[in-house]
Amino acid sequence: MMRVQFSVNGFSKAVEVDPEMPLLWVLRDVLGLTGTKFGCGMGVCGSCTLHLEGEAVRACQTPIKAVAGKSVTTIEGLSKDGSHPVQKAWIEEDVAQCGYCQPGQIMQAAWLLSKHPHPTDSDIDHGMAENICRCGTYQRIRCAIHRAAGDACAHGKEA
């Protein structure tokens, strides 16, 4: 067991867990933050995407010892009231179908926009490629990212 102190959504937290325990399970099982989803457990689907020190990472592949003294932002911390531009665009473009992957998609999209404020379709395709949506809402995801950037979407809706 190891005591790990870190920041989650702006709040200081300390946990006493196995240092190899994935951040995903610390968030969900220890801290009760269930917005970050378990998908594949291998870091390939993107359902568990969150921000660690401002970078998009897979929580299922990040051991808790790696976040000691660092800042984590989960979907619950992106905004308190759904007012983040990506969250608003997701609703306006009616992106979610089953919705399971959406927290990870939203966190990846927010990260993408922090790096490319006005991304091209190619930027979006590349930046979102490792986040899988089994319902296939990729066109709506792309339009929502363009909308969040304040750009027009290819299907003709104005941002």
- Which domains, from first to last, does the chain contain? 2-77 (3.10.20.30), 85-149 (1.10.150.120)
pLDDT (0 to 100) of residue 155: 62
38 to 47, 48, 64, 100, 156: CA distances (angstroms): 6, 6, 16, 9, 34
- pLDDT tens column, 71-121: 999 999 999 999 999 999 999 999 999 989 999 999 999 999 999 999 999
Query: Whole-structure pTM over 0.85, yes or no?
Result: yes
**In contact, 145 and 138? CB cutoff 8 Å:** no
The structure tokens listed for 9 are 């959504």
pLDDT (0 to 100) of residue 153: 84
Burial class (CB in 10 A: 0-12, 13-18, 19+), 22: buried
The per-residue DSSP string of 10-52 comes to TEEEEEEE-TTSBHHHIIIIIS----SPPS-SSSSS-TTEEEE
